[in-house]
Chains A and B, each alone.
Chain A
Amino acid sequence: MFDQRKLAEIKKQTQKWEGTTVPNWLRRNPERRKNFETVSGIPVKRLYTPEDIKGMGYSKDLGFPGEPPFTRGVHATMYRGRFWTMRMFAGFGTAEQTNQRFKYLLKEGETGLSVAFDYPTIMGYDSDHAMSLGEVGQCGVAVSHLNDMETLFDGIPLDEVSTSMTINGPAPMLLGMYICVGDKQGVPREKLAGTTQNDNLKEFFAQKLCIFPPKPSLKLSTDVIEYCARHVPNWNPVSISGYHIREAGSNAVQELAFTLADGIAYVESTLKRGLKVDEFAGRLSFFFACHNNFFEEIAKFRAARRIWARIMRDRFKAKNPRSMWMRMHVQTSGCTLTAQQPANNAIRTAFQALAAVLGGTQSLHTNSFDEALCLPTEEAVTVALRTQQLIAHESGVTDTIDPLGGSYYVEALTNEIEECAMSYIDKIDSMGGVTAGIEKGFFQREIADSAYKHQKEVERHERIVVGLNDYTVEKDWIPMDLLRIPPHVEREQLARLERVRQGRNRQKVKQSLDKLFGEAGKNKNLMPSIIEALKAYATLGEITEVLRSVYGEYRELIVV
């Protein structure tokens, strides 16, 4: 990209600056620390010049938005055409309560729905299971059967919204329910738009919501990918996630590398079903966190797109450019928010959101400032949504594409992150892939070590968390109104569950569950039989129990 002679000149001048101006300055003003590093341990120099990116080729490494390697953006016009989807993760209490929150958020300007399910639902338990006691509706909405799902989307036409569902083990069931709701509303399946997270691999070492062991979990994820490729073509069957890996304690490079490794595993698994890569790859989507180190995060998103494009083209021989594009959803980081001086969280979220936008995300959730205290109140979630709207309409950053492209630092960092991530991917490949790595406890060890390192840095004041280990206050301002889920919510949910159980055709339920059992034993794609069971109002718990009986339950390999 640069003229050799001019580069040599710049190099000479840089050396001169480092040899004279800088030391003179340092004599009177030492720098704040001896070494500067990103969170991932990448050294950060005092200054970046063309010298730092001299090997780059514009077309090869940067290219143009909407064309491989997509470094600068997946769409040709990016936010000039359309802003990212403002998609706020929401869910608590009963389906009715969450339906209200959905409608509120849509009214306030969010442009996509995102469903948070409660723990029992996530683990495939009905609200009245012994393990569900005290958990119903606490961290998400309780959905035990199709009736709950119908209530959840009451008054929301599924051909007018796109919905992301954070669900993994029971993803086939919740997608099945969504499809049934669409059927009832008369929406053709090709028009259903949205995403199921359905990324079971990361559960084993990050989010830990595993129901079944690794092999059957991967099978179920692939069932969903295959089914959508054939029957629900506008649906993103999987959201290959790094968010949870990051929140569990990894650094940015690990987050990226482990996510890409998972992506590789899903592509391989789906190819084994006999599909061609271009038949499904275009609908694979990704989900990352956005943490505090502004430029590291931006570089991470850009490196992510470039690496994935190269992997799809070179490793998997994709031909369609859409098979190579990495579309992502980003959520600002939860674990960087503090219970102390919660107002600061709004500002952390703002910076993180800005980084996600400058990084070119397609969809964004911003956390509420009361994140470390409880579920978000209406006021808090509004501020979080407004954060996105402020960036979109008032900051001007959306008027051009990839404005940081060409920054010596950002490009150097993007290159560095790519290199570090690829080194991890090679290592994982040599281990035998993600499933082998999970069995060996590789990811768990890396994450636990990074998490412990971070904790120690904070405790030794090597890493400052404002309001927590510095700039603390005696009397903190804590919001008085927290969103609490009262006990009657659980009682109501159980009553509804009982009504549904009583009101359905038991014969049909039994037949459909038996059929599912049979199909599971024969290793078939389970989506059709799951949908059939759901339409008979078999509950989530009943369906999951059938699968548990076939696949067994996962036992965590604990690495501390």
Chain B
Amino acid sequence: MSTKEKKIRVLIAKPGLDSHDRGAKIVARALRDAGMEVIYTGLRQTPEQIVETALQEDVDVVGLSILSGAHSTLFPRIMQLLKKKGMTDVMVFAGGIIPEEDVPALKKAGIKEVFGPGTPTSTLVEYVKNNVLK
């Protein structure tokens, strides 16, 4: 009866010490321009901080941006914490410099998709819209 007002809430996060935020900011802006509510964590976030933010903000999607090579350690940690907090309905995608050979393991850990350098923002927007789990 009442009109449901749902917006897609997205957390764009920079785990670890990587300080390259050009891409993360562009993605945040593009998702906002596509009508989503976006929270950007800023730099140097621990897995605990990212998951806590995702929890309190009840986000639908988490986008992880990393170019430092530390994804192999940090991403599985983040996915573990999300699982522990019962947040398996959050869709997690990643981007940055993540070698192809690492992608299968990340997907196995629960990352839905990994986007390489050069991915158009329109692709990301469509992907998020079509793959929100909630």
Contact = CB atoms under 8 A, between A and B. Distances in A.
A touching B, CB within 8 angstroms: yes
Interface of A: 119-120, 122-123, 125, 130-135, 138-139, 207-209, 247-249, 335, 338-340, 372-375, 448, 451-452, 455, 458-459, 465, 468-469, 478, 482, 484-485, 556, 558, 560
Nearest to B18: A119
Interface of A is mostly: loop
A209 B22 contact: no
Contacts of B113: none
A427 to B, nearest CB: 23
A135 B122 contact: no
Interface stretch (B2-10, B52-60, B93-101): B93-101
Interface string B11-43: 000001111111001101110000000001011
Contacts of B40: 558, 560
Given A459-B120, A482-B99, A556 B68 contact: no
Contacts of B86: none
A338 B117 CA distance: 7
B26 A455 contact: yes
11 contacts: A119-B17, A119-B18, A119-B19, A119-B70, A131-B44, A248-B21, A340-B118, A374-B69, A451-B22, A459-B122, A560-B25
A459 B22 contact: no
Interface residues of B, number: 33
Interface string B94-134: 00010111000000000000001110111000000000000
B73 A133 contact: yes
Nearest to A210: B19
A123 B43 CA distance: 12
Contacts of A484: 99
Contact of A139 (B44, B69, B122): B69
Interface of B: 16-22, 25-26, 28-30, 40, 42-44, 46, 68-70, 72-74, 97, 99-101, 116-118, 120-122
B70 A556 contact: no
Nearest to A490: B73
A123 B17 contact: yes
A485 B118 contact: no
Which of A138, A248, A448, A482 is packed against the most chain B CB atoms within 10 Å? A138
B43 A139 contact: no
Given A122-B17, A451-B26, A455-B121, 20 more contacts: A119-B17, A119-B19, A120-B17, A130-B46, A133-B74, A138-B68, A208-B19, A248-B21, A338-B117, A338-B118, A339-B118, A372-B117, A373-B97, A374-B69, A459-B121, A459-B122, A478-B100, A482-B99, A558-B42, A560-B29
Which of A130, A335, A340, A560 is packed against the most chain B CB atoms within 10 Å? A560
Contacts of A134: 16, 70, 72-74
Nearest to B33: A452
Contacts of B118: 338-340, 465, 468
A338 B72 CA distance: 22
A547 B83 CA distance: 38
A171 to B, nearest CB: 16
A458 B73 CA distance: 33
Contacts of A452: 26, 29
Contacts of B97: 372-374
Given A119-B18, A131-B17, A207-B19, A138 B43 contact: no
B99 A208 contact: no
Nearest to A451: B22
A372 B23 CA distance: 13
Nearest to A247: B22
